[in-house]
Amino acid sequence: MCPSAGSEKTTRGWVIPIGGAEEKANNPEILQRFCDLCGGSDARILVIPTASELEDTGPLYVELFESMGARSVFIPVDEREDCFKDEIQAKLKRSTGIFITGGNQLRLSTILGGTPVAQLIRHLNADGVHVAGTSAGAAIISEHMIAGGRSGPTPLEDGVTMAPGLGLTNKIIIDQHFRQRDRIGRLLTALSYNPFASGIGIDEDTAAFIGPDRVFEVVGSGAVTVVDPSELRHSSMHDARHRDAITLIGLKLHILASGARYDTNTRTAYSE
């Protein structure tokens, strides 16, 4: 699944996966930058708290964005049938930015997947609306979503569960809370299935701001781990037995802190 084509007259919107636990009080650099990108005082940010089952998640982000000068609302998409409501789609169409909160990424995909809301998010992003997601909201941004899996440093035959994502990018597979939850093994497992995309593991309070040119800049207090499988020479995944460790030969690894960039087209990393 490729990202929506969009209009030839409109620049594609930014896509911003956040590793979770982003700073919200003392120096909310990531959220402020997203707010500014969406228009600052002219921003209209729609919050989608579907992944969370906590009642205060949507209002919390609305309050945060409004404290930054934006206008913000949240839409209560708790069931698939909500995604077919005209009033919810109308609110989406009025937004300059869409923010998808954290929680359970399978809840996100089973409620949003294949609905008019999911299709509209894709079309709006292609036509210039910026989309950010934190934690589970980051995972669902890509075409292939990591839905779950084991922590640990070693890729395992059963180390990850995959599901379809929104498909705002097909260049990367995203994992979040990366260093904090030791998720390198499950990201490597995901890449071993088909090393078409680069893998990016995003630390907490860290984001990848992916521009219309598909180059991303790292923002935040942590780092983004990039796994480039383009020169992979051997993978044992195809004949691994249940719970076997996987051999992967020829991977390239980058650790990118704030200010560093990565071109997802050419798979080239740049320092500040």
Tell me the catalytic residues.
135, 177, 204
Q: Cβ(227)–Cβ(245) under 8 Å?
A: no
DSSP state of 169: B
- CA torsion, ordered 108, 111, 112, 115, to nearest 10 deg: 170
Tell me how far apart the alpha carbons of residues 183 and 195 are, in angstroms, rounded to a whole number. Answer: 17
Q: Provide the strand spans (E) within 111-235.
A: 130-134, 144-149, 160-164, 172-175, 198-202, 206-210, 215-220, 223-228, 234-235
DSSP state of 142: B
Tokens of 166: 């929104």
Tell me how far apart the alpha carbons of residues 269 and 255 are, in angstroms, rounded to a whole number. Answer: 9
Tell me how far apart the alpha carbons of residues 257 and 239 are, in angstroms, rounded to a whole number. Answer: 36
**Ramachandran area for residue 40 (φ above 0: left; ψ -120 to 50: alpha; else beta):** left
Query: What are 229-238's contacts with CB under 8 Å, separation 24+?
Result: 229/191, 229/195, 229/198, 229/199, 230/195, 230/198, 230/267, 232/195, 235/192, 235/195, 237/157, 237/189, 237/192, 237/193
SS3 216: strand
